[in-house]
Amino acid sequence: MPADVAIVVLAAGKGTRLKSERAKVLHEAGGLPLIAHVLRATTQLTRRGRGPVAGVWVVVGHQAEAVRAVAGAFGARTVLQRPQLGTGHAVAQAVAALPRSLARLLVLPGDAPLVRAESLGALIETQSDSGTAVALLTARFENPYGYGRIVRAASGEVEAIIEQSALRPEQAGLREVNSGIYCFHRAKLLPLLAQLGRDNVHREYYLTDVIALLRRAGEKVSAHMTAEPDEILGVNTPAELARVDTLLRRRKAEALMGCGVTLYQPETLAIGPDVAVAPDTIIERGVELRGATRIGRRCRIGAFSILHNAVLADNVTVKAHCLVLNSRLGEGVVVGPFAHLRDGADIRAGARIGNYVEVKKSVVREGAKAQHLTYLGDATVGRKTNIGAGTITCNYDGVNKHPTTIGDGVFIGSGTELVAPVKVGRGAYVAAGSTITDNVPPDTLAIARGRQVNKSGWARTRREKLAVAKARKEEPPVTVGLAAPPRPAARKRAARSRPRRQARRR
Ligand code: UD1
Ligand code: CA
């Protein structure tokens, strides 16, 4: 079969009903912008090779640059629509930009993120098999409000699509809706695009009007109804955005559970569509798994942890409340609770990263441990090395970042500062509380702190002095004979002279 289908994704609109500055298709649901979900489905069709799809074109307009960036990430080309005069106008811009060799157009909206590649494939097949001028993807909705309705003749043939605002009272009960997804025969569509008018409430060129025009020209229209109506849900309002987000997350959660992953309270999880999790792994409540995160077998991800582009081998434990970003955790690693791993932290097999430890751009080799309150930045930590509580690599001098290299089997005492660039040789010891500014050779003990001075009896003497001073303050004022109490002015003078007298005594 020749690859004669151009996929055209309409994504130029602002999305006025979202009442947001951001273009509608860039709003996120299920961990990705709406249009990214659509492009995932379309690229699944192109990737299959040998299929009928030749390429994907995205019609951009509102916030064109930002939408272009997403399209580019999926290898799609873009066509600019400016101004945006409706879905019919958008398709006309795309058709003008497509190679002539492409005889068919699969048109779909960029705001319907639940659509599956299988349904798009089925629609293309419906058009091929029937040879009609257009095949429509439709669905039956309990509540069809807001969608264009499919109007069928008594014979069952599709006659027209009528938008919500143009429905006659007797059409209000129509439940079959237009998905906005169509497979057109290009040569039959082209002359009709030129005939579209703007005689509607929005003064726009409606692509949907093409259906009645085709029928009037004696063409046939076929339709394929989705078994799963949710698949064509579009996003126009904030409430609809929330609904598709819930459905996308549920879809991913169900797919993972179907593969033997245990999810606690799956409705609280946010797992992106590109995340992969192996069987027998347990994911606790409130966890977010983003980007291209990959998790091995028999892992456990603790409650409220967030992993973005994290790669976990088998048997890894991430305890509650951790952040693992662009980092790798080897076999059997234990991390957290409350750990922060980022920017290429590479924690090798059997290593342990404990609570309130931050690791940035560092390699922690096999079996090493940093269990409490530590910062490791631009560091290499050798095998089975122990990093004591509160250790800090001082990697930044205010201008540049510098490396810290710690060998195998090293013991770094608690509260050590390692002022980079610095190296600690294999098997060395660093005494607790040291500030290490020079390299430590292998098997050496480094102590870098002020020497301790013990003053014998000092504390007891101090306590005694304090007790005497306190007793003196509590004595009642001495009034001698019948002497009158001092006048206010005299009292003030007495108060002023007191410190001077004390100073003299010292
Ligand atoms: C459209 C259909 C409706 C269908 C519904 C399904 C029309 C007239 N109506 O309505 O029958 O039930 O989709 O979701 O087509 N866009 C452009 N350029 C424009 C206008 C829109 O690229 O000038 C893009 C939008 O960014 C959006 C898509 O086309 O991604 C659909 O536009 P939208 O305004 O959401 O159409 P609906 O009113 O939902
Ligand atoms: Ca829409």
- Condensed to tens digits (0 to 9), the pLDDT of residues 121-160 reads 999 999 999 999 999 999 999 999 999 999 999 999 999 9
Q: Can you read off the two tokens belonging to residue 425? A: 């040789």
β-sheet with 352-355: strand ranges across: 262-263, 282-283, 300-301, 317-318, 334-335, 352-355, 369-372, 386-387, 411-412, 429-430, 445-446
Helix axes 117-130, 34-47, angle to 10 degrees: 60
Q: Which of 89, 185, 308, 372 is catalytic?
A: 372
Q: How many residues does the chain have?
A: 506
Cα-to-centroid distance, 221 and ligand 1 (Å): 20
Residue whose Cα lies nearest atom 2 of ligand 1: it is 180
Site residues for ligand 1, CB cut-off 6 Å: 10-13, 24-25, 59, 81, 84-87, 89-90, 109-112, 147-148, 161, 163, 177-180, 206-208, 234, 236
- Condensed to tens digits (0 to 9), the pLDDT of residues 22-35 reads 999 999 999 999 99
| HSE, side-chain direction, 13 A CA sphere, residue 440 | 29
Neighbours of 282 (CB within 10 A): 15
Q: Can you read off the two tokens belonging to residue 81? A: 């629509």
What pLDDT score was predicted for residue 47? Answer: 76
* 27 a catalytic residue: no
What pLDDT score was predicted for residue 501? Answer: 47
What pLDDT score was predicted for residue 503? Answer: 47
Phi (first) and psi of residue 18, to 5 degrees = -80, -15
315 has a pLDDT exceeding 80? yes
80, 87, 226, 244: which to mutate for ligand 1, most atoms within 8 A of CB?
87
490 has a pLDDT exceeding 90? no
- What is d(CA 223, CA 6) in angstroms, rounded to the nearest whole number? 19
Average pLDDT, the chain: 94
Cα-to-centroid distance, 138 and ligand 1 (Å): 15
Instruction: Answer whether the bond into residue 83 is a cis peptide, omega within 30°.
Output: yes
What pLDDT score was predicted for residue 2? Answer: 82
> Residue 497 — pLDDT band, cuts 50, 70, 90?
low
Q: What Rg value do the Cα atoms of the chain yield, rounded?
A: 36
Cα-to-centroid distance, 108 and ligand 1 (Å): 9
- What is d(CA 266, CA 264) in angstroms, rounded to the nearest whole number? 6
Q: Looking at domain 238-446, which of 2.60.40.420, 2.60.120.10, 3.40.50.10310, 2.160.10.10 is its CATH number?
A: 2.160.10.10
Phi (first) and psi of residue 241, to 5 degrees = -65, -45
Q: What is the mean pLDDT of residues 372-384?
A: 98
> Residue 504 — pLDDT band, cuts 50, 70, 90?
very low
- Condensed to tens digits (0 to 9), the pLDDT of residues 276-310 reads 999 999 999 999 999 999 999 999 999 999 999 99
Residue whose Cα lies nearest atom 20 of ligand 1: it is 86
> Residue 51 — pLDDT band, cuts 50, 70, 90?
confident
9, 10, 210: which to mutate for ligand 1, most atoms within 8 A of CB?
10
- What is d(CA 127, CA 23) in angstroms, rounded to the nearest whole number? 32
490 or 356, which is more confident? 356
Atom of ligand 1 at shortest distance to CA of 24? 26
Atom of ligand 1 at shortest distance to CA of 161? 11
Cα-to-centroid distance, 165 and ligand 1 (Å): 14
Percent over 70 (pLDDT), the chain: 93
Cα-to-centroid distance, 232 and ligand 1 (Å): 12
Atom of ligand 1 at shortest distance to CA of 23? 26
- What is d(CA 12, CA 35) in angstroms, rounded to the nearest whole number? 11
Residue whose Cα lies nearest atom 14 of ligand 1: it is 234
Q: What share of the chain is helix, strand, coil (3-state, %, to 5)?
A: 30, 30, 45
Atom of ligand 1 at shortest distance to CA of 178? 12
477 has a pLDDT exceeding 80? no
CATH 3.90.550.10 domain locations along the chain: 5-232
Atom of ligand 1 at shortest distance to CA of 90? 18
85, 111, 225: which to mutate for ligand 1, most atoms within 8 A of CB?
111
Cα-to-centroid distance, 96 and ligand 1 (Å): 19
Residue whose Cα lies nearest atom 37 of ligand 1: it is 147
> Residue 492 — pLDDT band, cuts 50, 70, 90?
low
CATH 2.160.10.10 domain locations along the chain: 238-446
Q: Can you read off the two tokens belonging to residue 259? A: 């593969």
Three-class DSSP category at 490: helix
Please check whether residue 33 is in contact with residue 26, taking contact to mean a CB–CB distance below 8 angstroms: yes
| DSSP assignments along 170-188, one per residue | GGTT--EEEEEEEEEEHHH
- Condensed to tens digits (0 to 9), the pLDDT of residues 389-436 reads 999 999 999 999 999 999 999 999 999 999 999 999 999 999 999 999
Residue whose Cα lies nearest atom 8 of ligand 1: it is 206
Q: Where is 210: in which H helix or E strand? A: helix 209-216
β-sheet with 288-290: strand ranges across: 270-271, 288-290, 306-308, 323-325, 340-342, 358-360, 375-377, 392-394, 417-419, 435-436
- Condensed to tens digits (0 to 9), the pLDDT of residues 144-200 reads 999 999 999 999 999 999 999 999 999 989 999 999 999 999 999 999 999 999 999
Which residue shows structure tokens 């916030």?
63
Phi (first) and psi of residue 27, to 5 degrees = -65, 145
Residue whose Cα lies nearest atom 29 of ligand 1: it is 10
What pLDDT score was predicted for residue 46? Answer: 85
**Residue 467 contacts by C-beta under 8 Å, 6 or more apart in sequence?**
none
CATH class of the domain defined by 5-232: alpha beta
- Cα-Cα-Cα-Cα dihedral sign, residues 41, 46, 51, 57: positive
Please check whether residue 150 is in contact with residue 134, taking contact to mean a CB–CB distance below 8 angstroms: no
- What is d(CA 380, CA 362) in angstroms, rounded to the nearest whole number? 6
Residue whose Cα lies nearest atom 36 of ligand 1: it is 87
- Return the closest-CA partner of residue 101 out of 13, 3, 195: 3
Cα-to-centroid distance, 10 and ligand 2 (Å): 10
- What is d(CA 307, CA 291) in angstroms, rounded to the nearest whole number? 8
For residue 405, list its beta bridge partners: 380, 423
